[in-house]
């Protein structure tokens, strides 16, 4: 698999996870916790963007490892899925 593609997908997934975490502030009314989680994910996204920029520019001093980036991609995917699936836990149920 192409390293640039893996990094791009990972960046998009991590950005999505950060946005989903911020959206949970309204649902949970727990502002600080979700801001901290979204901030951590945003920093991870920035790190991944830096790696992507180095890869695209073909910086001679930098070489990303595809296996490590595939693990990071899997982590990003699991993070998005986990944050997306946690929202319904906080939503009120309509039992009538």
pLDDT of residue 48: 93
pLDDT in tens, 34-55: 999 999 999 999 999 999 998 8
Q: Work out the mean pLDDT of the chain and round it to a whole number.
A: 88
Using alpha carbons, select from 80, 57, 40, 9 the residue that is nearest to residue 1: 9
Residue ranges of the domains in the chain?
14-90
The SS3 of residue 70 is helix
CB count within 10 Å of CB 9 equals 16
Q: pTM for the full model?
A: 0.84
Mean pLDDT of all residues in 25-40: 89
Tally Cβ neighbours within 10 Å of residue 34. Answer: 20
Residue 64 binned pLDDT confidence (cut-offs 50, 70, 90): confident
Eight-class DSSP state of 61: T
In this prediction, residues 2-26 reach a mean pLDDT of 93
């Amino acid at each position: 698999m192409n390293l640039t593609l893996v990094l791009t997908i990972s960046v998009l997934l991590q950005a999505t996870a950060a946005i989903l975490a911020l959206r949970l502030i309204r649902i949970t009314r727990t502002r600080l916790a979700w801001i901290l989680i979204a901030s951590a994910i945003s920093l991870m996204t920035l790190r991944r963007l830096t790696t992507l920029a180095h890869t695209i520019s073909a910086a001679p001093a930098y070489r990303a490892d595809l296996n490590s980036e595939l693990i990071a991609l899997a982590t990003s995917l699991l993070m998005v899925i986990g944050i997306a699936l946690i929202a319904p836990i906080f939503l009120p149920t309509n039992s009538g």
